[in-house]
Chains A and B, each alone.
Chain A
Amino acid sequence: MKKVDTMHVQTTHTTTYLYSDSVSICHTEVHLAPRECPHQRLISHELRISPEPAFTTSRRDYFGNEITIFSIQEAHETLSITAHSEIELLPEEPPAGGLTPPWEEVVEAVRGTKTEELFRAAEFSYPSPFVKPSPACEAYGRESFTKGRPILEAGLDLCHRIFRDFKYDPRATTISTPVEEVLEKRSGVCQDFAHLMITCVRSLGLPARYISGYLRSNEKTLGGEASHAWCSIYCPEFGWLEFDPTNDVMPNCNHVTIAHGRDYSDVAPVRGVALGGGEQIVNVAVQVLPPAATASGSTSRAD
């Protein structure tokens, strides 16, 4: 695998809640600190919360992502959470598709769970809250995962088909729209496409992860200016191969990983429970910039 030049990016992710009534206490959990992975290094990370929380703590979650939990115990009508991070991306050229083993071999290897790595990977082959394997998803997946096909080739094909067959439409779905419905409607957003691809490959017995992160947007990509989501499939010796079905690419130097898990429910960037509050309006803004550079693109659609 050929190394490409490293690249620095700065990310700013702001989430603002505006409440119609005062909130007397809130408990919030955030997954906002980009994790260390083979292709990225975290240089700095800072979380700013307003109003100042009475209590804050951080720990690693089950999947090794950093979570921060805080509570605000004074009455407030707005809550704003801003995460600033600086990341070094270490892009790697993806392997040639033909070099990877047939996908059925991967299914077998994972089922055997002979090594710690295979055992850990197997965890991502089971159903999870947002990923319920189904005959329909299996059938859709099998069109790409034909007999004996190298896993990377099959993955790229599935990624491409989702990009081609599905319409990017933020109004078509909500967080709780099931994958089955996305498959039927043929439209959704990056979360839906990631969940769909994961469901298809898990239906075949392969391990697949959900990745939440940011996208450095340009004219050709979707999903910037908001948090982004894609997925990865495990292959022994090659590790986790990443696919972004929203943009029909294998993430390389434009994707910043925050966290990975079985699905969205494991890594939601911000989740909270507030007492009171009435109606709420939520604003999310994401910026991904090279250091000391100007805005990098404008055509991306909110995700």
Chain B
Amino acid sequence: MSAPVSEPESRLNAAWAYQPRAGFYDEMLTAKGEIRPHWQALVDALNHIGPSGLAERWQEGRRVIHDNGVTYNVYGDPQSTERPWPLDPLPFQIEKTEWAAIESAISQRALLLNYILKDLYGPQKLLKEGRIPAELILGHPGFLRPCAGVSPPGDIWLHSYSADIARSPDGNWWVLADRTQAPSGSGYALENRLVSLRVLPDVFRAGNVQRLAPFFQAYKDTLRALAPKRENPRIVLLTPGPFNETWFEHAFLARYLGFTLVEGDDLTVRNNNVYLKTLGGLLPVDVIVRRQDDNFCDPLELRGDSMLGVPGLVQAVWSGNVAVANALGSGLVESSGLAAFLPALSKHVLGEDLRMPNIATWWCGHEAARLQVEERLAHLVIKPATPAHSFEPIFGARLGPKQRELLIRKIRSNPGAYVAQEQVSLSTVPVARDGQLEARHLVLRVFAVASGAAYAVMPGGLTRITSSLDSLVVSMQHGGGSKDTWVLADAPEPPFSLLRRASGPLPVSRATFDLPSRVADNLFWLGRYLERFETAVRAVRVVLPRLYLDPDASTERQLTACRNILAGGGWVKAAEGERLTEAEVLSAITDSTVRTSLRASAKEIRRVARLLRDRISTDAWRVLKQLDKQFTGELPPEALRNSWAQELLDNSMISLAAFSGLATENMTRGHGWRFLDMGRRLERAVQTVQLIRRGLDFESEPTDAELSNILEIADSTLTYRSRYLNSMQMDLVLDLLLLDEGNPRSAAFQLSKLRKHVDRLPESHPPSGTPREARLALKLLTSVQLAETEELVKLSYLDELTAKMEEDLGLLSDTISRVYFTHQLRSQARL
């Protein structure tokens, strides 16, 4: 950048040190080093804010990514499969006329592929006329024969489609690959937009960047139209589950689009209709948006080894009772081999040339093509022709003569399995690295959705960048990154939100989401884990200062009680007679190898909360992430540990209170909230009863110290003092903790709430009489209502009462689980 500068204000400041590599098309700079006009606004902004300004703004961006829990999963990483989403702060800029050309090319291609699918699953004229080699289709494991002959509504097979495109050194765009199975990335593109809006709001507004929301609205409209008979069709998003690479996106899109997120087990086929299993019974499903591969969708007619599918789904599709988007079988055209024939197919089918060429592709199953490939191998990339033959791309240029010979022999033995593609010199784009700009290669994923008889293209897309300038593979699995994509318009775009538009008046709906049993199960346990965690925090917080008291007989007895409480909860080891040590208590907090330590429990809470990403608000999720994060730090030097631990425990209590507040104030009082709250109430009752059983020595009269221990851990000291001042009296303490329905920490309070919840559950349909869970809840409540306060001083009475309560609470939890959460194992057979 040392060349003389004619218009200094239109140049990138030297501080950014941007040096694109010669021989590639750079998106921002021309070959002469001039700024391309549509990047000028971003460059001006960069010059204005400078490296430190960008770093500062990017802090905010990273915070949003972290707080929103934007992640993707890396397969085969035993440590932690969940990675934060890698995003670069500088959006990729595209000018609007160039975008118009991309848009028209992508919608043309989607239309063509949809036509091909319709033919291949129907008359197969394209095969019979030899326009597509039969081997590529009929030998393709993605050709789902049970789906041949089905006509999906409106003849739409591809409801959504995406293409990876790249720019070569001459400035032209090429299609690298098609995604027709269950295209992923549109949710990440949307999330990228949310982040870049926070980082560069001023530049965004000035650039009149086109909005993404109308694209998603078009998708919703198309999906709704698949169930024309229903005014408010039930649409579900089918995910393979939390271990899928793009699980975050499934949960995110389900929330954004207002669909119920389901796994295969949440659905069932009855009488040829698909139903969602909810607490309230079976609810009919009209449209399934699938984010799992089609051959896994029905273990009856498709892959029999699939544990993810819905048995009977194919027949339900045949009968027209449910629509699947993309249609079952549409993964077939996601094949590099087919790309070789698309230019000719476009002419034949649409009567026009492809508006954006494929990257030059040869299918080796044709002898002439194979001979060319063998000759030019050094310049080509060898890829599998269909997903049936899966292997990593082989770059001919990187092979020695011997390896090349071997590869040729392999190709000759099964030519139909291979395609060769020209290698593209991907264009470059600046990314921010350590206060400077560096060049990286980019591939743009563009998204289209069916809209009427055509396809609507998302104005923007997911820009993916290589991990280094030397890498030619763009892959999140291999350390690549992403960028937001800005399509710049002339005039400001009107604001748009998914909630604003409806084609007609919608009926009032009080139930926002259907609640699958699996979700109810997770909410119930989230409630229990949170409450258990809270008790542990309170217990440790009360015990910690007692460690530093002067040793005397009463302190010793108090510490023994403390050990019993902590050991009973599994937070420290039970070792009779030994004085509880600081190290032991600290390990209850931070030792991740102890299954029940606070640190491990916080992680577990986060894990369960993650399964509920589409059910709990972003704020609530942030609170739980924060809770987990508080425990991940290193231990401070010994002298500071006590105060460090106290602060950590105090902060955890604040996080827990924040979560409860959000749940109380913001969650709709549906079954979801009910199960979360039931979990909490049940666990709090259990914890209170166990606290009494562990904190008191049932051999002799409890001491004041023991009573004050349990009062404090049960957070009822203030209430007690306001009533009885400082005099500790056993029956009064126990009355407050067990029997007083007015004390929100008492067992009686929890049992009264539990009983109300249980009464409002959807009926569990016992053959006769009152359901078991209702009888148990009533029995528990009655046992505290009928107990005599004066009797509580008798240790044997107290022992019997609390033991019975503990047992019945366990039974109640088991009964609720059995009635509402049962997941039966599936057995499969073939003869």
Q: Is the CB of A62 within 8 A of B148?
A: yes
A277 at the interface (CB under 8 A from B): yes
- Asked if A37 lies at the interface with its beta carbon under 8 angstroms from chain B, I say no
Instruction: Given the known inter-chain contacts A17-B829, A269-B831, please indicate yes or no for A73 contacting B134, CB distance below 8 A.
Output: no
From A88-96, A121-129, A155-163, the one touching the partner chain is A121-129
- Asked if B826 and A274 make an inter-chain contact with CB atoms under 8 angstroms apart, the answer reads yes
The reply to whether the CB of A107 lies closer than 8 angstroms to some CB of chain B is: no
A119 to B388, CA, bound (A): 21
CB distance from B521 to the nearest CB of A (A): 17
Chain A residues near B826 (CB, 8 Å)? 273-275
A71 to B271 Cα, complex, angstroms: 8
Name the residue of chain B whose CB is nearest to the CB of A278. Answer: B827
The count of residues in chain A whose C-beta lies closer than 8 Å to any C-beta of chain B is 45
Partner of B269, one of A71, A127, A269: A71
- In the complex, the answer to whether B138 meets A25 with C-beta atoms within 8 Å is no
A83-117 at interface with B (beta carbon < 8 Å): 113, 116
| A266: Cβ under 8 A from any B Cβ | yes
- Which of B148, B268, B301 is the one whose CB lies under 8 Å from A29? B301
- Which of A122, A129, A284 has the most B CB atoms < 10 Å from its CB? A122
Contact A284 B831 (CB under 8 A): yes
Which size bracket describes the interface of B in this complex? 35 or more
Task: Tell me whether A119 and B134 are in contact in the complex, defined as CB-CB below 8 angstroms, given that A71-B270, A274-B829 are known contacts.
Answer: yes
User: Any chain B CB within 8 A of the CB of A270?
Assistant: yes
Q: Which of B311-319, B401-409, B763-771 contacts A (4 or more CB under 8 A)?
A: B311-319
| Chain B 465-518 residues near chain A, CB threshold 8 A | none
Are A271 and B312 interface neighbours, CB within 8 A?
no
A27 touches B146 (CB 8 A): no
Query: A118-140: which residues lie under 8 A (CB-CB) from chain B?
Result: 119, 122-123, 126-127, 129, 135
Q: Which of A25, A71, A123, A280 contacts B829 (CB 8 A)?
A: A280
Interface string of A253-276 (1 = CB under 8 A from B): 000000000000110111111111
Q: Does A289 contact B (CB under 8 A)?
A: no
Judge if B723 is at the interface, Cβ distance under 8 Å. Answer: no
**Pick from B319, B824, B825, B831: contact of A271, CB under 8 Å:** B831
Q: Are B139's CB and A69's CB within 8 A? A: no
On chain A, the residues within 8 Å of B829 by CB distance are 17, 270-274, 280, 282
Whether A62 lies near B311 (C-beta < 8 A) is no
A55 contacts B271, C-beta separation under 8 Å: yes
| Chain B residues in 8 Å Cβ range of A116 | 128
Q: Are B300 and A273 in contact, CB atoms less than 8 angstroms apart? A: yes
Which residue of B is nearest A135, CB measured?
Answer: B413
Whether the pair B831, A268 counts as a contact (CB closer than 8 A) is: yes
Judge whether A54 is part of the interface by a CB distance below 8 angstroms: yes
Give residues of chain B (253-270) contacting chain A, Cβ–Cβ below 8 Å.
268-270
| Residues of chain A lying within 8 A (CB to CB) of residue B272 | 55, 57
A73 cross-chain contacts in B, Cβ below 8 A: 270-271
Report the minimal beta-carbon distance from A258 to chain B, rounded to whole angstroms.
13
B830 contacts the other chain (CB 8 A): yes
Interface string of B101-141 (1 = CB under 8 A from A): 00000000000000000000000000110100011001101
Q: Residue of B at shortest CB range from A115? A: B128
Q: Is the CB of A59 within 8 A of B318?
A: yes
- Are B146 and A126 touching (Cβ within 8 A)? no
B819 to chain A, nearest CB (A): 14
- Please state if B270 and A273 are interface contacts (CB–CB under 8 Å): no
Q: How far is the CB of B167 from chain A (nearest CB, A)?
A: 37
Min Cβ gap A138→B in Å is: 10
Specify which chain B residues have a CB less than 8 angstroms from the CB of A71 in the assembled complex: 269-271, 312
* A265 contact set on B, CB distance < 8 A: 304
Q: Quote the shortest CB–CB distance from A142 to chain B (angstroms).
A: 14
Q: Determine if B63 is an interface residue (Cβ-Cβ < 8 Å).
A: no
Q: Does B312 contact A69, Cβ atoms closer than 8 Å?
A: yes
- Whether the Cβ atoms of A57 and B315 lie closer than 8 Å is yes
How many Å from the CB of B380 to the closest CB on chain A? Answer: 25
User: What are the interface flags for B359-388 relative to A under an 8 Å C-beta threshold, 1 for contact and 0 otherwise?
Assistant: 000000000000000000000000000001
Q: How far is the CB of A190 from chain B (nearest CB, A)?
A: 14
- The 8 Å CB contact of B311, one of A123, A127, A273, is A273
Write 20 A-B pairs (CB below 8 A) sorted by A numbering.
A25-B270, A27-B311, A29-B300, A62-B145, A122-B134, A122-B138, A123-B138, A129-B141, A135-B413, A227-B831, A265-B304, A268-B830, A270-B830, A272-B828, A272-B829, A272-B830, A274-B828, A274-B829, A277-B827, A284-B831
Which residues from chain A sit less than 8 Å from chain B, CB to CB?
15, 17, 23-25, 27-29, 54-55, 57, 59, 61-63, 69, 71, 73, 113, 116, 119, 122-123, 126-127, 129, 135, 175, 227, 265-266, 268-278, 280, 282, 284
Residues of chain B whose beta carbon lies under 8 Å from any beta carbon of chain A: 127-128, 130, 134-135, 138-139, 141, 145-146, 148-149, 268-272, 299-301, 304, 311-312, 315, 318-319, 388, 413, 824-831
The 5 closest A-B pairs by CB, nearest first: A126-B139, A62-B145, A273-B311, A271-B830, A27-B311
**With A175-B830, A275-B827 given, can you name 4 additional A-B contacts, CB distance below 8 Å?**
A25-B268, A27-B311, A123-B138, A273-B826
